[in-house]
Structure 1
Amino acid sequence: MMPARSDLATHEVTNQPPPPGDRDLWADDPLLRAFLTGSDARTDQIAPYARSLGTQALRDAARQANDHPPEAVIFDTGGRRLDEVRFHPAYHQLMQLSTEAGYAAIAWEDAPCGHLSHAAMVYLASQVEPGHCCPLTMTYAAAPVLRRMPGLEDWTRAIASRRYDPAIRPVAEKHGATIGMAMTEKQGGSDLRANTTQAQPDGDLWRLSGHKWFCSAPMSDGFLKLAQTAQGLSCFLVPRWLETGRNAIEIQRLKKKLGNRANASAEIEYRGAQAHLLGADGDGVRVILDMVHHTRLDTALAPAGLMRAALTEAHRWASHRRVFQKTLIDQPLMQAVLADLTLDWLGSLALSLHVARSFDGAGPQDRAFARIGVAIAKYLSNKLCPLVVAEAMEALGGIGYIEDGPLPLLYREAPLNGIWEGSGNVICLDVLRSLARAPGAAEMLDQELDAARGLDAGFDRALASYRHDWRAQPAEAEARQFVERTGLLLSAAILIRHAQDGRIDHALPAAFIATRLGGPRGRFAGAAAVPDPARLLALCFAPTA
């Protein structure tokens, strides 16, 4: 590209970072590479995907997809119902790249570490354009449900495809398909058993009637839904398009959301929509929770990606901006703030990827840890994400608040994953339920924590204090405190083990333990005394040109 002019009529542009140009999100992230070392993650596919995402062209497409959000087209010019959502071409460009890279499919292709590879892709895609991740995440998460159901071979084939096919056709005629979800109703929210949508049998199929307050990705080819039958709440697959025409799903309106603007969310109504029963009649909550379990993995990884993107911007700015005769990155207080924020991201990424590894395990111990670990990782990552993004924006000053750069998009996105698939209270209560009822969950949590005992004195003291305080099941009102402390200890344990096997420098777990487990600290970034912050930043970020 031809460089922009700096010698303007009234002044010369100085003291501004150079345009970022093409970035390599793989080469620039030494910690992601380190955390995948020693695994069978498909780095041969992850690395080129990361390079494609980092190009200026893809970042421009991300901006276009957000500047031109989807539009509902309810009727044609003659007044006939269409109930469609139209997207900017940039959205389809992003969907095609991520679908072909294997974002939704790679976990189900019978290769080792498929879920870990998928998790790395979620983390990377969230750094560039998080909105298009929504339908791909739900497609990934629907696979374990649909693969168990007989008679849905066209669906399992289509969602396992790496071909993006947005055509309006029944699934049997498509090269690939996406899956959405619609569970929330006005009166119920997280209380799914309060849903009132009704399902009536119609031969081998069912007919749904009712209203859904939130339908994620309403142009998906099919949706997993909950509806009431004579036997109770049941789970259904509702096709968007039938061989005979459009299914009876009517879009009422698109939601005007704070963020996630490239992706559509809608209120919809079923007017006798055709549906396939999934699982046993009346067993809907258990069936849908398998999908929710997998979407929660993505809601733990996505905030780590948002934090990484925000900190990359802050680090780039500070590395080039001179203030008071010194480069900003060399000023002690800025170093302290950025290093402290970097530790938040570091712990979240380490914990979330470690949990993703357990999704690849086939044994009962892996399943037990995945069940409780994903909830802890989701809670911790999402509580940290808005704070990290806001501080990164502040590091840039006023320019960080301007839509010319990526930080406003990241800031609007930061709260989303904490709300989706269970808000903070729901997640913390789920952790307590897992400890009390899920076979092996408490034992696996102890085993993960004990794996780092004896390797760091500060960690050992913090673990002993934690176990002294929680000798019995925490009370409901203590659930947030318990999950936060558990998440920080798990993150520290994972970092310690990575340092022991040589993947990362010992300075990283030492700094994390000193500032997160070592006693009282201030509530805000930079209030903790991070040891050798300049070295910590050098370990986590590639040098800026």
Structure 2
Amino acid sequence: MNYFSDDLVLQDVLNYLGYETDEKLSEMGKYISTEMIEDSVFIDHYGEPVLQMWGILDNRTDGIWISRTHLNMIDRLLDMGVVSRIVEKNDLMYHFISGYLISDAGLFCTLTLTGQTAYGLKKYGGNHLESFLKHYSNEDHWLGATYYTEIQGGSDLGANQTIAVKSGDRYILNGENKYFASNAGLADGAIVTARLQGARAGAKGISVFFVPTLRSDGTRNYEIRRIKDKLGTIMVPTGEVVLKDSEGYMIGDEKNGIYIALEILEVSRIDDAIAAVGIARKALWEAYLYARKRTAFGKPIIEHPLMMRDLVEMESEVVASTVLSMIAGDMFARASHLKPPYDDQYHMARAFTHMAKNIASWSSDYVTRYAMEVFGGKGFLKEFPVEKFHRDSIVTSLWEGTSNIQSLDFLELVQKKGIDEKIFTLIWNIMENLSSDTAAMLKAAFDSVREKMVSYRNSENIEYFAKDILNMFGYLSALAYMLSVSEKTGNTGMQMAAKIYYYRHFAGSFPSDMNFVEFHRMLDWMNVNDGEKVIEAK
């Protein structure tokens, strides 16, 4: 099996987007499906990162001890260009596709944070930070991090209390409360939010800094108070960072600090969505292949009607999340040259990012949990990988803003930028290029969302319905692009998935005469044997 070349859904989405792939992605897919996935499960169980706070000479080291296998995995993936493509070729889509293939939430978190650090340095660092940026090429394999969250504020960056004071060509940062600092101890440098001394209160007073792990004199630039015990994402160390007279360099300018911080965050939000659906795909693929071989009550469990329906419904969710997440990644990549104040192209990319993250993280939680059920009691055992898929999927709805944060940010785009009408226009244009049958299905969904949006706009407190608004626009956008991709590429399996998705999220129920046996053909592409495709659903 090759997670890249054997994934026909992914291939057709990339063809639709016009993204030209190369052999590196096929090489990466083969490595992940044959080596990385097994090594990552072992490290998750037996190789948890360990904080080394002190050195042999009683000096603070604040480093992380990880296994050689763990380090080799990171280096090998960096060699394949997961981060360097951002720096050297401005190729964000390669990074996003890599995240879908890797989709180990712990391992890819390290690479996500490194990627967004490189992105921030490249776009906003300027000449004075060029000496740091070059380390994020394929030569040095520097790792990155983002230290935004503080214990008193969480997602409210305006509550940050870390203070930065100008000192020559740099700034001195002090703050005790960087509370959820992933990649702490592994990172060679981090993007950090702080408030300039005397700056205004709230989010508009936030600035962004690059804080190297070592000071200019070679000593440690900040301390790590502790590493946290977590339910999942074991491979990435998540700690509490204390900034004590730490040297930092401003990224961008102080008046646009909060916008730059949130733009950098968009990279990891897309990574969250893409990794979430990648985890779901792995779990569903394993469940599908198991269901074909496992017998119960005289026949393979995949032939039992309830199992057949469950797998079909899960496939529709994974396909929808794959399409929506890749569209969001493509939109952001195309808008990544824009700077504050942004235009409608960037706002649309941001809206799709909120939709993709929310829907993909939900579907990943749903699919990975049910995949455990397909395996029965074995799905709950740590000796098999399915339970890890579920543990890792859960965090994707929490990282980089919970579903409430995504919903409120989307609502802000509705109220300030009129993004709802712009999405309606986009969907209408897609609908006009569909065949009559598929256009009719999309038109019914379109009219339903439009009618509900009128009702929500008339509400005395629309914020109560922010999550409903985000979800319904996400479902509508996913359906539209599923239908568009399926018609353009001839993928009949995706067209079936779109119809199932329509019944689940718009029709309210399935027809009583629904023939799930017919729809089951949309799963056939996952039937592989020793890496060779056996059946294609096209």
Instruction: Please report the TM-score for the alignment, with normalisation by the length of structure 2.
Output: 0.88
Corresponding residue number in structure 1 for 2:182: 216
Q: 2-side partners of 1:78 and 1:195: how far apart?
A: 35
Corresponding residue number in structure 2 for 1:424: 403
Corresponding residue number in structure 2 for 1:478: 465
- 1:464 correspondence with 2:447: yes
Bigger shift: residues 441-450 or 259-268:
441-450
Q: 1-side partners of 2:490 and 2:261: how far apart?
A: 37
Instruction: List per-residue Cα deviations over 1:450-472 (Å, max 9, x = no partner).
Output: 13325422221121121011126
Q: 2-side partners of 1:183 and 1:62: how far apart?
A: 27
Q: Paired residue for 1:291, among 261, 264, 272? A: 264
Q: Residue 245 of structure 1: SS of its match in structure 2? A: coil
Q: Is the 8 A contact 2:208 2:252 kept in 1?
A: yes
Return the letter of the residue paired with 1:142: T
Corresponding residue number in structure 1 for 2:240: 267
Corresponding residue number in structure 2 for 1:534: 520
1:429 CA drift (Å): 0.4
Corresponding residue number in structure 2 for 1:8: none
Return the letter of the residue paired with 1:450: W
Q: 1-side partners of 2:22 and 2:426: how far apart?
A: 26
Q: Paired residue for 2:488, among 501, 504, 514? A: 501
Q: Superposition pairs for residues 21-60 of structure 1, below 5 Å?
A: 23-38=1-16, 39-55=18-34, 57-60=35-38
Corresponding residue number in structure 2 for 1:10: none
1:366 CA drift (Å): 3.6
Q: For residues 503 and 45 of structure 1, do their structure 2 counterparts lie closer, same or farther at Cα, with a shift above 3 Å needed?
A: farther
1:519 CA drift (Å): 2.4
Corresponding residue number in structure 2 for 1:117: 94
Bigger shift: residues 275-284 or 286-295:
275-284
Q: Is the 8 A contact 2:117 2:190 kept in 1?
A: no
Q: 1-side partners of 2:97 and 2:516: how far apart?
A: 27
Corresponding residue number in structure 1 for 2:536: none
Q: Superposition pairs for residues 409-448 of structure 1, below 5 Å?
A: 409-438=388-417, 441-448=419-426
Q: For residues 280 and 233 of structure 1, do their structure 2 counterparts lie closer, same or farther at Cα, with a shift above 3 Å needed?
A: same
Corresponding residue number in structure 2 for 1:317: 290
Q: Paired residue for 1:93, among 47, 60, 72? A: 72
Q: 2-side partners of 1:521 and 1:469: how far apart?
A: 21
Q: 2-side partners of 1:43 and 1:223: how far apart?
A: 31
- 1:515 correspondence with 2:501: no
Q: Paired residue for 1:487, among 474, 494, 502? A: 474
Instruction: List per-residue Cα deviations over 1:141-162 (Å, max 9, x = no partner).
Output: 2334212222011222222x12
Corresponding residue number in structure 2 for 1:142: 117
Q: 2-side partners of 1:181 and 1:82: how far apart?
A: 20
Q: 2-side partners of 1:531 and 1:115: how far apart?
A: 39
Q: Is the 8 A contact 1:351 1:494 kept in 2?
A: yes
Corresponding residue number in structure 2 for 1:396: 375
Q: Superposition pairs for residues 52-451 of structure 1, below 5 Å?
A: 52-55=31-34, 57-66=35-44, 67-110=46-89, 114-126=91-103, 129-147=104-122, 148-150=124-126, 151-159=128-136, 161-163=137-139, 175-211=140-176, 212-218=178-184, 219-229=186-196, 230-231=198-199, 232-281=205-254, 283-362=256-335, 364-438=343-417, 441-451=419-429
Q: Residue 189 of structure 1: SS of its match in structure 2? A: coil
1:336 CA drift (Å): 0.7
Q: Residue 321 of structure 2: SS of its match in structure 1? A: helix
Q: For residues 52 and 493 of structure 1, do their structure 2 counterparts lie closer, same or farther at Cα, with a shift above 3 Å needed?
A: same
Question: What 5-or-longer segments of structure 1 have no aligned partner?
Answer: 1-22, 164-174
Q: 1-side partners of 2:112 and 2:500: how far apart?
A: 33
Q: 1-side partners of 2:239 and 2:330: how far apart?
A: 34
Return the letter of the residue paired with 2:486: A
Q: Is the 8 A contact 1:28 1:542 kept in 2?
A: no
Return the letter of the residue paired with 1:139: T
Q: Residue 246 of structure 2: SS of its match in structure 1? A: strand
Instruction: List per-residue Cα deviations over 1:76-97 (Å, max 9, x = no partner).
Output: 2332211111111121121012
Q: Is the 8 A contact 1:199 1:228 kept in 2?
A: yes
Instruction: List per-residue Cα deviations over 1:150-179 (Å, max 9, x = no partner).
Output: 2011222222x124xxxxxxxxxxx23121
Q: 1-side partners of 2:382 and 2:59: how far apart?
A: 39
Q: Residue 313 of structure 2: SS of its match in structure 1? A: helix
Corresponding residue number in structure 1 for 2:535: none
Q: For residues 162 and 447 of structure 1, do their structure 2 counterparts lie closer, same or farther at Cα, with a shift above 3 Å needed?
A: farther
Seq. identity, %: 24
Instruction: List per-residue Cα deviations over 1:79-118 (Å, max 9, x = no partner).
Output: 221111111112112101211111123244436xx33322
Q: Is the 8 A contact 1:74 1:83 kept in 2?
A: yes
Q: Residue 179 of structure 1: SS of its match in structure 2? A: coil
1:200 CA drift (Å): 1.7
Q: 2-side partners of 1:465 and 1:530: how far apart?
A: 25
1:532 CA drift (Å): 2.3
Q: Is the 8 A contact 1:459 1:517 kept in 2?
A: no
Q: Is the 8 A contact 2:162 2:195 kept in 1?
A: yes
Corresponding residue number in structure 2 for 1:7: none
Return the letter of the residue paired with 1:136: L
Q: Is the 8 A contact 2:105 2:393 kept in 1?
A: no
Bigger shift: residues 260-269 or 88-97:
88-97
Q: 2-side partners of 1:142 and 1:451: how far apart?
A: 36
Q: 1-side partners of 2:93 and 2:165: how far apart?
A: 40
Corresponding residue number in structure 2 for 1:17: none
Return the letter of the residue paired with 1:416: V
Q: Is the 8 A contact 2:189 2:210 kept in 1?
A: yes
Q: 1-side partners of 2:333 and 2:252: how far apart?
A: 24
Q: Is the 8 A contact 2:308 2:516 kept in 1?
A: no
Q: 1-side partners of 2:120 and 2:380: how far apart?
A: 42
1:537 CA drift (Å): 1.3
Q: Is the 8 A contact 1:511 1:531 kept in 2?
A: no
- What CA RMSD, in Å, does the superposition of the two structures yield over aligned residues? 2.2
Q: Residue 208 of structure 1: SS of its match in structure 2? A: strand
Q: For residues 399 and 99 of structure 1, do their structure 2 counterparts lie closer, same or farther at Cα, with a shift above 3 Å needed?
A: same
Q: Is the 8 A contact 1:458 1:518 kept in 2?
A: no
Return the letter of the residue paired with 1:542: N
1:520 CA drift (Å): 4.2
Q: 2-side partners of 1:254 and 1:529: how far apart?
A: 52
Q: Which has the higher helix share?
A: 2
Q: For residues 208 and 123 of structure 1, do their structure 2 counterparts lie closer, same or farther at Cα, with a shift above 3 Å needed?
A: same
Instruction: List per-residue Cα deviations over 1:310-350 (Å, max 9, x = no partner).
Output: 10111111011111111111222111111111111110001
Q: Is the 8 A contact 2:214 2:221 kept in 1?
A: no
Q: Is the 8 A contact 1:254 1:264 kept in 2?
A: yes
Q: 1-side partners of 2:218 and 2:368: how far apart?
A: 45
Q: 1-side partners of 2:24 and 2:370: how far apart?
A: 33
Q: For residues 84 and 180 of structure 1, do their structure 2 counterparts lie closer, same or farther at Cα, with a shift above 3 Å needed?
A: same
Instruction: List per-residue Cα deviations over 1:367-395 (Å, max 9, x = no partner).
Output: 23211110111011112211111111001
Q: Residue 187 of structure 1: SS of its match in structure 2? A: coil
